[in-house]
Amino acid sequence: MSARRTALLACAALLTGLLPLTAAGAAAGADEPAPVPVDTFEGEVPFANPPAEGLFPWGGDADDPPRLALTARDDAPQGAKVLTGGYDISGYGGFTHDFAFDSPAHDWSAHKGIRFWWEGRNNGKKISFEIKDGGANGEASELWTTSFTDDFTGWKQIEIPFTDFTYRTDYQPVGGIDQVLGLTGMWGYALTLPTGVKGDFAMDGVELYGKGAQSLRASVVTDAAVHTVKEGAAADVRISVATTGSVPIDEPVTVAYETAGGTAEAGTDYTRVAGELTFPAGTASGTSRTVRVPTLKDRSAESAETVPLKLTVTGARAPAENPQVVIDAHGLPYLDAKLPVKKRVADLVSRLSLEEKAGQMTQAERGALGTPGDIAAYDLGSLLSGGGSTPTPNVPEAWSRMIDAFQLRARATRFQIPLIYGVDAVHGHNNLFGATVMPHNIGIGATRDPRLAERTGEVTAAEVRATGIPWDFAPCLCVTRDERWGRSYESFGEDPALVKSMETVIQGLQGARDGRDLKDDDRVLATAKHYVGDGGTGYGSSATGSYTIDQGVTKVTRQELEAVHLAPFKTAVDRGVGTVMPSYSSLDIIGDDAGPVKMHADAEMINGVLKDRMGFDGFVISDWAAIDQIPGDYASDVRTSVNAGLDMIMVPYEYKNFRTTLVDEVKAGRISERRVDDAVSRILAQKFRLGLFEKPYADTSGASKIGSSAHRAVARQAAAESQVLLKNAGGVLPLKKSQKVYVAGSNADDLGNQTGGWTITWQGASGKITDGTTVLQGMRKAAPGARIDYSKDASAPTDGYDVGVVVVGETPYAEGVGDVGNGNDLELTAADKAAVDKVCGAMKCVVLTVSGRPQLIGDRLGDIDALVASWLPGTEGDGVADVLYGKRAFTGQLPVTWPKSEAQLPINVGDASYDPQFPYGWGLTTLTKVPGGGSAALRALALVAAKAERLGADEAGRAAVTKARLLVQQRIGTRITPATAKPFADADHLLLTGRYKEAVARLTTAYKSA
């Protein structure tokens, strides 16, 4: 015990001794229960994740979770150790103590509140403190929240009465939830730490204190904050009394009510009501009374009008906000679904104030809302869920309830403009647990199957819309030119012709090109991203944190810009894509001497090329807080981006500041009202096309199909067709069901690694993070009864097996976090290398690389009998097993060039110097007889290809080139040289551009060089 701590305790004892006995007794609270420890941080509660009891950190991305430790401190307020941690949070982050899911919840109802010791840093930051009430477990419970301000220095005991907690309305749990702080089924607590400041913290002695007085535990709640009603009808507002512990109230509660204020006029728009409700002592918790507010009908067309119902509560805590009745807008032209969209837009825009227009241009992260009432207060046009921003529990019903609650708030605005809610569903509804997760785009590109790409979009759209979400931030139309880029797997490939061919996914998401299908319950608005050149950033050009290439600078000639990076966006515009998202990256066009320009500030490319030249009539949405990267102060960021052509700005946490700044910039004349009207018109047009004005709430009729066998069958086919067979010496593939198989490697039985980043959370995670089938599970299902043994590290004996399957590769990452040089490389891990060496040294072996980009495996290629590029196949490992066991043929082709070494990067089809491990377009097949006939066969195929090209017979032309490719591949075998690789890769590009005759000619050149 330190001298300082001994002195502190001695002083405390002296002060206690000087207190009068009556005061000391009062302080102790003779009839109060002793404090009940929740956490002493002496090691009694482990660091562990649910469902076990434990402390665990969390955050919006890989850098956001705080670092936690139990630290011995001489000045610890209780015991010898305290909980300490460091944090540097850009998105959101904090830590939780969850109680064990397999044990009963805790009962806190006998106590007044919760308290803990906090070591203040006097930084003035608010820290949110949440408790978890009711529901099935700590991750499926209601969250009740409050906060305290760190405006002190040193240790301070923070006491929070349970009456200070309010229900978190952005979370919509389901199952045994009543939105009453019962305290009888508690699952733990959580703290959300400050963002935008680097810091550390120390905490100790979490405990329950005091006696819970029933008079303090009674509260009055209403069924909803907003009650919409047609003009002339009556609104029924249900008012309930509730108690913590769900016991009857022990004294009367009265609720005086009156209609007062608002935009509606008493006697003209509604009948004034006033009165008093009484809940006598002994009334059961949950008892309700109803107040009816009649509205009056007239012949006028009107905007929505509000009738607040003022509640004055005696004997209990009043609701956090008074409910309001909203008389729906009616009779105005923009509400007439029979009118053309253009006329509806013009009518509505003419009615909006500047502030309302600015609100429509604002998009906030749903978790950043100060209160749900901000939706109406700031006339917000849109909300989004960033990666991992999900309701609790993360199930379809919770999503639809959450979004419906947000939409209800938008009904309290003058013109009741619905929100458009967006989400990054980049390979299926990947934020939702149990959804069908498709292969990432790199795998879809490997399928070379445009119709299948469209079907994956259809499944994604159906699952997303069934949860109430009408807008998807997909597809990514980046053309990946350097596999060191952490977003490589978001691209369909390195060839713009391949990317363009896969844009059928837009029709899968949206339906018809004219937008007539967008109102359907299985379609969503698509987003072409990231405009333009995000896949061409130079290595070392990024200025974002520790990123090396993502968000960097794309330096190209105008010719290269047009041919490589712009071409896919022209196709997207032609396909009717509804929105376009600019890139974080900068564009530096060689020869114009302008230097790098941030894409969010590039008026030439957004206004000039995208909107004017290409004729894009949708709206442009910014990326996450991307305008903050534009040089200058915030006002400059706003006017520069809006004047450059951005229509809606994703300002996750700055929605209030953005809206105010935008209004100020317009009033100052630095942004024209015409530019604002254009932006709002574009946004409203898509809302009308989506049918949101007629049906703002979720249509959940398709929810039963989420993760269904029919949807998973599409994902399974996509996984199978995405598998690229790079080598197959001795015909080791397909496997036979009678073979004894030894399976090893880090990715054989890991669903999280198999699905990659952007799965459940932004960065993804290893392990069983959702429902699906691993590669190992798929193999065992494909060969029931066969001996298939698994040893992850290949430590088990290898004797007695016919063949080995080693599944290796990457662990999940997203965006610049995955950049090579930012803690990543293209090499296998030491453990995976050891597994490959051991298995391939003991038996015939098949190696599968589960990864978002090529892996450098050339030094082991001679010892590997069969090599498969599996990419990131999603949740359906059955699809991988289908080709391994010959249920389907291997048909995939490389969407990117497979390099020999990292020093070769960037390396792409069309390069003057081209010496890859495997060329672009390479892909062996099984179950298909490879054409024979050599040069004579190629001459005959050249004639067929020429005729097909002349007649526009694309199917015949593609078939001729495919036969020639298989013939040439067989000839080349493992003897891939620059002389064979370059014409081979060129041929696949020519095939995709419809030049079948020339493609066969290039393949003939490769054949002759082999």
Helix, strand or coil, per DSSP, at residue 188: strand
Q: In the predicted model, is pLDDT for residue 984 greater than 60?
A: yes
d(CA 158, CA 205): 10
Question: pLDDT (tens digit, 9 = 90+) per residue, 281-325?
Answer: 999 999 999 999 999 999 899 999 999 999 999 999 899 899 999
Q: In the predicted model, is pLDDT for residue 10 greater than 50?
A: no
Residue 802 carries which side chain, given as an amino acid letter?
D
pLDDT at residue 214, as a whole number? 55
Contact 138, 171 (CB under 8 A): no
Give residues with Cβ within 8 angstroms of 96, minimum separation 6.
55, 56, 57, 58, 138, 188, 189, 190, 191
Q: In the predicted model, is pLDDT for residue 473 greater than 60?
A: yes
Task: Give the distance, in angstroms, between the CA of residue 522 and the centroid of all CA atoms in the same chain.
Answer: 19
pLDDT at residue 166, as a whole number? 86
Using CB atoms within 10 Å of the CB of residue 806, give its burial: 0 to 12 exposed, 13 to 18 middle, 19+ buried: buried
How many other CB atoms are found less than 10 A from the CB of residue 704? 10
Helix, strand or coil, per DSSP, at residue 444: helix
Q: In the predicted model, is pLDDT for residue 26 greater than 70?
A: no
Structure tokens, 337: 């679904």
Q: At what angle do helices 634-644 and 655-667 cross, to 10 degrees?
A: 70
3-state helix, strand, coil in the chain (%, to 5): 30, 25, 45
d(CA 157, CA 180): 27
Computed over every residue of the chain, the mean pLDDT equals 94
Give residues with Cβ within 8 angstroms of 672, minimum separation 6.
666
Question: pLDDT (tens digit, 9 = 90+) per residue, 782-813?
Answer: 999 999 999 999 999 999 999 999 999 999 99
Question: pLDDT (tens digit, 9 = 90+) per residue, 730-777?
Answer: 999 999 999 999 999 999 999 999 999 999 999 999 999 999 999 999
pLDDT at residue 169, as a whole number? 65
d(CA 401, CA 406): 9
pLDDT at residue 733, as a whole number? 98
d(CA 201, CA 751): 35
Segment 933-953 mean pLDDT: 97
Contact 191, 147 (CB under 8 A): no
For the chain, the first-to-last Cα distance in angstroms comes to 80
Helix, strand or coil, per DSSP, at residue 461: helix
The DSSP string of 625-643 is TGGGGSSS-HHHHHHHHHH
pLDDT at residue 177, as a whole number? 63
Question: pLDDT (tens digit, 9 = 90+) per residue, 580-633?
Answer: 999 999 999 999 999 999 999 999 999 999 999 999 999 999 999 999 999 999
Q: Is 515 left (phi over 0), alpha (psi -120 to 50) or beta?
A: left
> Any idea which residues carry the catalytic annotation?
623, 815
Using CB atoms within 10 Å of the CB of residue 664, give its burial: 0 to 12 exposed, 13 to 18 middle, 19+ buried: middle
User: What residue spans of 58-192 are helical by DSSP H?
Assistant: none
Q: In the predicted model, is pLDDT for residue 29 greater than 80?
A: no
Question: pLDDT (tens digit, 9 = 90+) per residue, 195-221?
Answer: 888 999 999 999 999 987 655 678 899
Question: pLDDT (tens digit, 9 = 90+) per residue, 488-500?
Answer: 999 999 999 999 9
Q: In the predicted model, is pLDDT for residue 17 greater than 50?
A: no
